[in-house]
Structure 1
Amino acid sequence: MSFTSVSEVNLDSRILEILIKRGIKEFNPVQTEAINKGLLNGSRLLVTSPTGSGKTLIAELGMLTHLLSEGGKAIYVTPLRALTAEKYRELKDWESLGFRVGITSGDYDSDDAWLKNYDIIITTYEKLDSLWRRNPSWIKDVNYFVLDEFHYINDGTRGPVVETVAMRASGKKLLALSATISNFERISKWLNANAVITNWRPVPLKEGVIYPERKKFVVLYNDGTKIELAGQDPILSYVNYMIEAGGQVLVFRNSRKNAETTARKIASFLPIRKELQEISEKISEVDDAGSKEKDDLTSIVKSGVAYHHAGLSRSLREIIESEFIKRKIKVIVATPTLAAGVNLPARGVIIGDMYRFNGKILGFQEEISVMEYKQMSGRAGRPGFDKEGESIIVVRDKKDVEKKMKKYILSPPEPIESRLGNEVAFYSFILGTLSSEGKMTYDSLSDFAHGSLLDSKLIESYLRQGVTWLEENGFIQGDEDDLSLTKFGKRVADIYINPFSAKVFKDYLPGRDISCNVAYLHLMAYTPDGPRIGVGRKERDELLDYVPCPLFIEEPEDEDEEYNYLSALKIAMITNDWIEEIDDDVILEKYNIGSGDLRTIVDTMDWLSYSAYNVASILEEVEHHNVLRKLNMRIKDGVKEELLEIIKIPGIGRKRGRLLFTNNIRKPEDVVMNPEKVKNLLGTNLGEKIVKEAARLISGIT
């Protein structure tokens, strides 16, 4: 593997200048190989290499060289919003060359016309797919695509969209970046791309297992070396060993409860450090988190330990990530989602569980995939800090050592396969394709579908069934020589909900009397796009007893459907408490959820209520539309109907809105007419800002 001096590569002098400012003097072996395979000449490439091997710089070189030589626009696509924000910060450097860098995610019902003025656009796969459905004029100018974390094509949820985006980028310049892909020959051929395949890492990775032996724990590495650790718990023993060696540790556990319990346990064995008081205070001052979460974290973070999972608020996660990068927090105990979410390397990674919980299979557990293991273990080794990274699997029985070593450490990840092979994914694919193309013959639709990774026989089966189902349910019209979306189908495609979700609204709203808010919220949450949440056995009867009115959907007899029904009912109750202005802490405690869960539920139900009232409008269900429209307005900010006027002012949320309303300031005009009163209630600086915003709002209305 060779390194190449940046001065030896035929780069535009402007690119070279920025690289030198960054302190980049040479290209590493992965980057060198990409350049040799045609990166700077616009060749389509599939680059697979470990985490931290410099793939982002490869993308930057590819995009910038292309834009400087050929013009147009470049789109950088990621699977997660957190990654989108991270890449946006990194790519802002290139604005010094005169290129405008923009970011967009969420708000699927928009063509983002403002992006016509941007040259480099960072977005998510779902957002790009939604943009193609709306077909804005500027998207025709995009002639370079970077598909990051491309192995997400194997993900059951996001995979179909990643595959669709790759198909639609056919014929354009393309750079797919991925962790190791075992069947790269097939995937590179499918992408019509040159393959750049390497296992080079900037920090070598040493992998192993830890298992009990007598009264100690043995760490056996893949190079055959061993160390022995004293202690009563393998995770505690390894964490202590790594911290004493001056390293940081990421511990992965398979559930939030296990992550939290493990973090507290580790913290109890480590000394409190005075210099961490500042982090503790930052956590306690966060606005978007529950009191219980903050109290718990402020306690353990003083020992340099934190836990991290999707149940925490965004602000809490950002503080934990930032302080870990600064090397103040020494240990993070996380659920596996962290491995794919943000760039947080540590000297040591310990994977505490090789199983995940799955309520749909007997025993509630299934082994994690090799790819998931590779994602977690790939976080080991901090470039610039560590000469070597270590990744350790906890094996609780010595008899399983060889099995775990062989399956996870010595084996490649699972081959990438299409995830379009189910009705929900494929029918949505058909809908999106017709939305993008306008009109198609059945044969042209079939030709496009055969450009996927799915087996040809399955494509024909799903395509025939899908077109028939979409016609029967009013989404598409015409014959095999002239297929197009109906007005209903086009609206469903634009708002980016699954056709099966739209069918739920279409089946249950027409001809039904208006019901209470919980009934509508339950209907939304019951759709395939609705959020899912665990329901304990004790909760079942309590939930059913709380139902305040007849629901649109009757309780099913099927066990699986009953689970979805009760999950939707719990989501409906949570959302209803939210719009009734129940305090966040009360909601979190009552339903045993985290502040991050609440935010996710609110965001999803905001989108679904928007979708529902749009579907009701197309169906000309005026009364249902009016109820759903008002619900949508309330869900966004979590307010009663009486606050809808005052929260129109930017910067006024549920708490400030209630404070102003209680003091007889109930609409924007009241704010403008009572500036001193507003300042007294909200504070001088914020009050002045709110008065100005109210004045702008009024002038805009009038």
Structure 2
Amino acid sequence: RHANLSHLTRICSRVTRELEEMGMVVDLGNRIEATEFGELTSKLYLDPRSSVMIAAAFNEREEVTPFGILHLLCATPDMFRLFLKSADHEVIEQVLEEQGDEILIGEGEHCFPWLGYEDFFQAIKTALVLQDWTNEVPIEMIAERYSVGPGDIHGLVDGIGWLVHGAREICRREMPPLLADIADLEIRIRHGVKEELLPLIRLRGIGRVRARSLFNSGYTTPAEVADAGVEGIARIVGQKTAESIIDQIKKGTGKSGGTRGSKDSEERDPERRRTRHDPGSGDSEEKEGRTKGERKPREAEGRNDEKKSGQQNILDYW
């Protein structure tokens, strides 16, 4: 027992030291307290290493691109990455040549001790898949292009959704000027749309299919939709939806309040914010979001149960 306790003490000391080096906690001698950064990381259910990577990358750049953000998040320990195949290496080299300046972190362990070269390059492939998703490339084409299954794409979209939300909250603290770019990317990932559809996708009842239909019909902004009136857009989105979105535009309401980078309705409503992302969905995503329930709170309950179990184990040990 004494040997085990000594080993546990060494582990706790090492973990505490590492967390202190990351800026997550401060050792006050008689107690250890979480810093503001550490508390935020805990609330976001992020690996401390992920938070450190995100904060460091944002503090190094005044401008970011969607691909740069995607690669950064795909390189974090929290993100599932796709394995590389021999056919991928040529594509990776081309990306590094054409978009290398957009990448926010360096290669390999000299940048972060836990990030290997293989992780770095796998993150590029994974980011390319997600970039295609946000550029409205059909699921079947993405699957064929990268030799992955639709289920893999679904998992990537679901996983990156929470990470980009976490990145937005870290950015709010570390680099507010970049907040609008990350908020826009969060919406694009959620719906799988190009940047040009952002003004339309913020309207309640409008998903990726209806937004694209409106845009291709010449209605590219809420103002143009309002000018067309209910009769003008009912043939595209249906009578009830047309009445709803015209009413939203007149009242200045919608998923995001109509302003770029502002907190949307999902941020005010955690139940919608933490729902799964369905790459195969169109305009039904809002309905699905209201019925599938919270994702992270369930994990929190599980962790609370684990914590209670761990406490009981300690009591049993003594």
Query: TM-score normalized by structure 1?
Result: 0.33
> 8 Å contact 1:669–1:694 — kept in the other structure?
no
Which residue number corresponds to residue 594 of structure 1?
149
Q: Specify which structure has the bigger relative contact order, considering alpha-carbon pairs within 8 angstroms and separated by 6 or more residues.
A: 2
Task: String of CA shifts for 1:535-570, please: whole Å, max 9, x gaps.
Answer: 101212212212423222233389x82221121111
Question: Structure 1 CA distance, aligned partners of 2:18 and 2:109?
Answer: 25
Task: String of CA shifts for 1:278-335, please: whole Å, max 9, x gaps.
Answer: xxxxxxxxxxxxxxxxxxxxxxxxxxxxxxxxxxxxxxxxxxxxxxxxxxxxxxxxxx
> 8 Å contact 2:70–2:130 — kept in the other structure?
yes
Which residue number corresponds to residue 191 of structure 2?
637
Which residue number corresponds to residue 539 of structure 1?
88
SS, match of residue 657 in structure 1 = helix
Question: Structure 2 CA distance, aligned partners of 1:535 and 1:544?
Answer: 13
> 8 Å contact 1:522–1:569 — kept in the other structure?
yes
> 8 Å contact 2:63–2:178 — kept in the other structure?
yes
Change (3 A) 1:603 1:570: same
Correspondence list, 1:269-348, <5 A: none
Change (3 A) 1:689 1:625: closer
Deviation at 1:693, TM superposition (A): 5.0
Are 1:585 and 2:137 an aligned pair? no
Deviation at 1:507, TM superposition (A): 2.7
> 8 Å contact 2:222–2:249 — kept in the other structure?
yes
The structure with the greater share of residues assigned to strand is: 1
Which residue number corresponds to residue 439 of structure 1?
none
> 8 Å contact 2:197–2:212 — kept in the other structure?
yes
Question: Structure 2 CA distance, aligned partners of 1:651 and 1:595?
Answer: 25
Question: Structure 1 CA distance, aligned partners of 2:144 and 2:7?
Answer: 47
Query: TM-score normalized by structure 2?
Result: 0.69
Which residue number corresponds to residue 104 of structure 2?
552
List alignment gaps of at least 5 residues for structure 1. Answer: 1-454
Are 1:485 and 2:39 an aligned pair? no
Which residue number corresponds to residue 204 of structure 2?
650
How many pairs were matched up? Answer: 244
List alignment gaps of at least 5 residues for structure 2. Answer: 258-318
Question: Structure 1 CA distance, aligned partners of 2:7 and 2:205?
Answer: 51
Deviation at 1:521, TM superposition (A): 0.9
Change (3 A) 1:490 1:568: same
Equivalent residue letter for 1:651? G
Which residue number corresponds to residue 612 of structure 1?
167
Task: String of CA shifts for 1:471-493, please: whole Å, max 9, x gaps.
Answer: 22211235132432221111111
Equivalent residue letter for 1:642? E
The structure with the greater share of residues assigned to helix is: 2
Change (3 A) 1:678 1:483: same
Deviation at 1:497, TM superposition (A): 0.8
Question: Structure 2 CA distance, aligned partners of 1:597 and 1:523?
Answer: 19
Which residue number corresponds to residue 468 of structure 1?
17
Deviation at 1:579, TM superposition (A): 1.4
Task: String of CA shifts for 1:372-425, please: whole Å, max 9, x gaps.
Answer: xxxxxxxxxxxxxxxxxxxxxxxxxxxxxxxxxxxxxxxxxxxxxxxxxxxxxx
Q: Which has the larger radius of gyration?
A: 1
> 8 Å contact 1:578–1:638 — kept in the other structure?
yes
CA-atom RMSD, angstroms? 2.6
Which residue number corresponds to residue 517 of structure 1?
66
Segments of 4+ moved more than 6 angstroms: none
Task: String of CA shifts for 1:155-185, please: whole Å, max 9, x gaps.
Answer: xxxxxxxxxxxxxxxxxxxxxxxxxxxxxxx
Which residue number corresponds to residue 13 of structure 1?
none
SS, match of residue 484 in structure 1 = strand
Which residue number corresponds to residue 220 of structure 2?
666
Deviation at 1:695, TM superposition (A): 2.2
Equivalent residue letter for 2:165? Y
Question: Structure 2 CA distance, aligned partners of 1:676 and 1:588?
Answer: 39
Deviation at 1:676, TM superposition (A): 2.2
Equivalent residue letter for 1:627? D
SS, match of residue 94 in structure 2 = helix
Equivalent residue letter for 2:65? C
